[in-house]
Amino acid sequence: MKKEIIINSTNEDTRIALLEDGKLVELFVERPDNERMVGDIYKGKVRKVVKGMQAAFIDIGFEQDAFLHFSDMGSNVNQLFADIDEELLETNGGDDVDPADLLRNGQEIVVQIIKEPISNKGPRVTTELTLPGRFVVLVPNQHRIGVSRKISSARERRRLRQMARKILPKNFGLIIRTVAEGKSDEVLKQDLQKLLKTWNKIQNKIKNSRAPMLLFKDLGMASSVIRDLFTKDVHRVVVDSRKMYRDIVKYLREVGSELHERVEYFKSKEPIFDVFHIEEEIQKSLQKKVWMKNGGYIIIEHTEALTVVDVNSGRYFGKKDHERNSLKINLEAAREIARQLRLRDVGGLIVIDFIDMLEENNKQKVLNELRKEFARDRAVTKIEGMSRFGLVEMTRQRIRPSLIYNINEPCPLCEGSGLVPTKGTILANIERALRRYVATDLDRRIILRAHPNVVEYLNNKRLSRRLRLMWKYWIKIDTEEDPTLKPFEFRILIKKTREDVTERFVY
């Protein structure tokens, strides 16, 4: 498989595309007002402990408090508190302590963001801190040494473990990354020393700062993608910014990586994302309907609770055998669904409605194809079996908001529902408000202020909807156009005083 990283940098944003065999599979977008937060370390203050949720809410200076689940607190959490109940720890020997007993409102604690804020939810945090470098990840207050599973050689894994034991100070753990394969002890030691210096700076800030306080800011999106994703299996990195090209090459040379030779500066009058056909793929990823090459299509619907994917045969005309046709469409859909969910960065619960098949063997083929495609995904996925209705339930690790929320914002008219009231519904709402109005002793002469389209609908000469309302409720209605109102909004004013009384009659 041919992997490429394409980077487009403008004054407004930086977009990083990951291509596999020329197909867009992942897209990262970073803007000055929406910078990457995962990996940032904060000194926070416990706002509230909720035992029923097995969690606590931590004030780290955001509008929404961070969410700390007790399962994310780790075994050495006591080393990250500004103050703890020492007596409780001594009594229990540090083991089997209920996290809720360690936490109390107003207490200071050090946490790291592991999931970005989504919708009205604050970021999710952990007390198990990590400091990522190019070749290793430093884990303070731990003792384990881990080696990337992608390093397949048993001899190389053993060498890296032995090397880590030699250079690692006490009270630290280490995770050795895939790109460390074949690297000398000296190169890895240099990477570790940089991380240890960073940790010392963080410790000084912990002692001398008051919560809430940012203690450590991880690399920006572009730098972190190069650090985490630019491995030997990446064919090349193409950048359209001369400054970013120089920064990436400089960084790779500093950490002793020979991959700097695979970085290319893109010089062309055409936009880089147009040349690599990425722009059109981004536009497709924002649509609900995605067409497949065989004529079938999938529908992707986002809801607050889950994401639903529906597979349809569309324009596909296969042989007469319905079972074989369904299998062909479902196999192609499984590949496209995996690509789209990765590209859109969809997380949480996902339900896929495949076309019905009768044979268990065919159902298993579709599941195997789905699992094979998601094996390339860096996010953790869990896929359940197919139900008798052709439904597959799965979950995908959610780290940051879905792509659609990075690029788009909710419509100010429909507020994200995609629907607005029809003109008939608006007229019915107006009539209900008028009926409540005439039940009072207020003046029977009013001004109805509405959007120009609604005023035109009311004053239609042929149907005369306004006159019909006047005769029905024995009330004088003058209309006023107000383009600032939404198409389904209206205001009721008493004509004599121009007092706005809408709130009393519109529920």
User: What pLDDT was estimated at residue 283?
Assistant: 84
Task: Kindly tell me if the per-residue pLDDT of 257 is higher than 80.
Answer: no
Task: Kindly tell me if the per-residue pLDDT of 306 is higher than 70.
Answer: yes
User: What pLDDT was estimated at residue 431?
Assistant: 93
Q: How far apart are CA 370 and CA 338, in angstroms?
A: 7
User: What pLDDT was estimated at residue 82?
Assistant: 47
Q: How far apart are CA 18 and CA 226, in angstroms?
A: 11
Cβ neighbors of 264 (< 8 A, separation 6 or more) are 236, 237, 238, 239, 245
Phi then psi dihedrals of residue 168, to 5 deg = -85, 125
Q: How far apart are CA 436 and CA 505, in angstroms?
A: 6
List 391's β-bridge partners, or say none. Answer: 353
Q: How far apart are CA 487 and CA 102, in angstroms?
A: 54
Say what percent of the chain tops pLDDT 70.
90
8 A C-beta contact, residue 333 and residue 357:
no
User: For strand 55-59 and strand 66-69, is the pairing parallel, antiparallel, or unpaired?
Assistant: antiparallel
- pLDDT single digits (tens) 158-184: 999 999 998 888 889 999 988 888 888
Closest by alpha carbon to 143, among 214, 79, 210, 82?
Answer: 79
User: What pLDDT was estimated at residue 88?
Assistant: 45
Which tokens is 135 given?
């070749």
- pLDDT, mean of residues 237-253: 88
Q: How far is CA 257 from CA 18, 29, 265, 402, 445, in A?
A: 20, 25, 18, 32, 80
Say what percent of the chain tops pLDDT 90.
44
E strands, 60-118, are 66-69, 108-115
SS3 (DSSP) at 95: coil
Sign (positive/negative) of CA torsion 467, 468, 474, 475?
negative
Closest by alpha carbon to 328, among 309, 342, 314?
Answer: 314
Q: How far apart are CA 5 and CA 223, in angstroms?
A: 12
CA dihedral of 340, 346, 349, 351, whole degrees rounded to 10 = -20
Secondary structure (DSSP) of 484-496: TS-TT-EEEEETT
- pLDDT single digits (tens) 278-294: 988 888 888 889 998 88
Cβ neighbors of 67 (< 8 A, separation 6 or more) are 55, 57, 58, 121, 122, 123, 124, 125
Closest by alpha carbon to 249, among 283, 222, 284, 286?
Answer: 222
Q: Which amino acid is at 119?
A: S
- pLDDT, mean of residues 127-154: 89
8 A C-beta contact, residue 42 and residue 111:
yes
In this prediction, residue 397 has a pLDDT band, given cuts at 50, 70 and 90, of confident
SS3 content of the chain, % helix, strand, coil (to 5): 35, 25, 40
8 A C-beta contact, residue 238 and residue 6:
yes
8 A C-beta contact, residue 397 and residue 419:
no
- pLDDT, mean of residues 258-280: 89
Where are the alpha helices (H) located in 35-120, listed in sequence order?
Answer: 86-92, 99-102
Higher model confidence: residue 376 or residue 437?
Answer: 437
Is residue 412 reached through a cis peptide bond, with omega within 30 degrees of 0 on the bond before it? no
